[in-house]
């Protein structure tokens, strides 16, 4: 059976740069605290009137250009996001219109930071079964409007940035391209990283004074629990991808992990017993852009020559749910 391959990729981040010094003004934090706890130096936040669909459109156009495909070629759109412009429908349907695509299938998936690899896995199945020839997959998140930009929100407010990355997935050759994908979840930890409101469990969806005052519409995170699980699940799911393909870390040109936090990435490198130059990081530039970190990192790692044709790379993610996932790719 033919594998699928990534034939084009692109990313886009908002113009507006927010430095750690800017956050010092808003959040009673310090550049030193943010750098030492997360590795982040700056991030991009959307401006008034800008949304995830706008970033997705530009990232998608770049990926289409690299792959040499036109709107008419695309036969499925998958968007991984936890921050669509509207509660429903998702960004997939918006992109169908914005890119003037045929009336093809278009949908969103909501698994937080793991969404890009979940989407890659879904796209891979559509290609392998022959159902699709050209799938557009976008990972996009704009969590900045959900952050509390004052001292009370500093614990999560300093970590997140906004951005979008897109790839085109098409049929490749046997033995190269996307070799395998591995998806996991453990829902008992959902409240350790979540946005509770608006909730359809509650009459009026929770927009009452009491719940808003209790900040139940804000992104909430149990940082220590996330850290503890992430440093276990990342190496585990990377190893799963290696084992499934009879590979070892020596065969891997670059691991491209979800950019959650530089300290998590360092801990993962230590557990895998590999040097940091084999594990890509660009979190200092963009912060944690949730579903967008992996496609953005893939674009920059490729531009920087960290991997090339015939190299093996591993993608790995951990995020809300908890969910985690990996993909093994032989680049072509
Ligand atoms: N600036 C300054 N001080 C802060 C800030 C801030 N932005 N945030 C919290 N603090 C303070 C706390 O109030 C606390 O003060 P206290 O000791 O006076 O009470 C102190 O710093 C220490 O807080 P801790 O929570 O103990 O800090 P810790 O060293 O555990 O670091 C962190 C917190 C960075 C969140 C850590 O738990 C972590 O790295 N967790 C992983 C979470 C993560 O990276 N999430 C990314 C998103 S999720 C994902 O992508 C999978």
Domain positions in the chain: 3-174, 178-330
Residue with tokens 């040097």: 275
SS3 116: helix
Q: Which residues of 251-271 are buried (b: 16+ CB within 10 A; e: fewer)?
A: ebebbbbbbbbbbbbebbbee
3-174 against 178-330: fold identical: yes
Instruction: Report the candidate in 30, 282, 283, 23 with the shortest Cα–Cα distance to residue 144.
Output: 23
Helix axes 52-67, 91-98, angle to 10 degrees: 60
- Tell which atom from ligand 1 comes closest to the C-alpha of 154: 7
Residue 2: per-residue pLDDT = 81
Tell me the pLDDT of the chain (332 aa) as tens digits: 789 999 999 999 999 999 999 999 999 999 999 999 999 999 999 999 999 999 999 999 999 999 999 999 999 999 999 999 999 999 999 999 999 999 999 999 999 999 999 999 999 999 999 999 999 999 999 999 999 999 999 999 999 999 999 999 999 998 999 999 999 999 999 999 999 999 999 999 999 999 999 999 999 999 999 999 999 999 999 999 999 999 999 999 999 999 999 999 999 999 999 999 999 999 999 999 999 999 999 999 999 999 999 999 999 999 999 999 999 999 99
Phi, psi for 314 (deg, rounded to 5): -120, 130
Å from CA of 223 to ligand 1 middle: 6
From start to end of the chain, where are the E strands? Answer: 4-12, 17-19, 42-44, 76-80, 105-109, 135-141, 163-171, 177-185, 193-194, 220-221, 252-257, 312-319, 323-330
Residue 125: per-residue pLDDT = 97
Inter-residue contact 116 to 181 (CB < 8 Å): no
Catalytic residue ranges: 113, 258, 288
Quick count: other Cβ atoms within 10 Å of Cβ 305? Answer: 7
SS3 282: coil
Å from CA of 167 to ligand 1 middle: 33
Name which CATH class applies to 3-174: alpha beta
Task: Give the chain's radius of gyration (CA, Å).
Answer: 19
Instruction: Report the candidate in 126, 60, 53, 122 with the shortest Cα–Cα distance to residue 93.
Output: 53
Inter-residue contact 159 to 288 (CB < 8 Å): yes
Residue owning the nearest CA to atom 2 of ligand 1: 29
- Tell which atom from ligand 1 comes closest to the C-alpha of 227: 41
Quick count: other Cβ atoms within 10 Å of Cβ 214? Answer: 13
Please indicate whether residue 223, judged by its CB atom, sits closer than 6 Å to ligand 1: yes
Residue 191: per-residue pLDDT = 97
CATH architecture of 178-330: 3-Layer(aba) Sandwich (3.40)
Residue owning the nearest CA to atom 38 of ligand 1: 223
Å from CA of 158 to ligand 1 middle: 9
pTM (two decimals): 0.97
């Amino acid at each position: 059976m033919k594998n699928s391959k990534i034939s084009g990729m692109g990313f886009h981040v908002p113009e507006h740069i927010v430095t750690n010094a800017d956050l010092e003004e808003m959040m009673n934090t310090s550049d030193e605290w943010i750098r030492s706890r997360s590795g982040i130096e700056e991030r991009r936040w959307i401006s008034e009137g800008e949304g995830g669909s706008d970033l997705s459109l530009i990232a998608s156009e770049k990926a289409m250009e690299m792959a040499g495909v036109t709107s008419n070629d695309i036969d499925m759109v998958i968007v991984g996001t936890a921050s669509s412009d509207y509660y429903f429908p998702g960004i997939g349907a918006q992109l169908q219109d914005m890119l003037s695509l045929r009336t093809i299938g278009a949908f969103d998936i909501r698994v937080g930071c793991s969404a890009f690899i979940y989407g890659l896995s879904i796209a891979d199945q559509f290609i392998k079964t022959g159902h699709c020839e050209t799938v557009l997959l976008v990972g996009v998140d704009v969590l900045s409007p959900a952050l509390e930009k004052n001292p009370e929100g500093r614990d999560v407010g300093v970590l997140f940035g906004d951005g979008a990355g897109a790839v085109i997935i098409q049929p490749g050759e046997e033995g190269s391209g996307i070799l395998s994908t591995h998806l996991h979840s453990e829902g008992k930890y959902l409240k350790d990283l979540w946005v509770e409101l608006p909730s359809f469990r509650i009459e009026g969806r929770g927009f009452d004074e009491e719940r808003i005052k209790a900040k139940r519409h804000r992104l909430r995170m149990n940082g220590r629990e996330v850290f503890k699980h992430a440093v276990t699940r990342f190496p585990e799911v990377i190893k799963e991808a290696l084992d499934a393909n009879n590979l070892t870390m020596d065969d891997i040109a670059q691991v491209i992990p979800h950019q959650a936090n530089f300290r998590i990435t360092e801990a993962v490198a230590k557990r895998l017993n590999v040097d940091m130059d084999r594990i890509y990081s660009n979190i200092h530039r963009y912060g944690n852009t949730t579903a967008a970190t992996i496609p953005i990192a893939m674009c920059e790692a490729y531009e920087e020559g960290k991997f090339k044709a015939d190299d093996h790379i591993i993608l790995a993610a951990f995020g809300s749910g908890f969910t985690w996932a990996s993909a093994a790719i032989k680049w072509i």
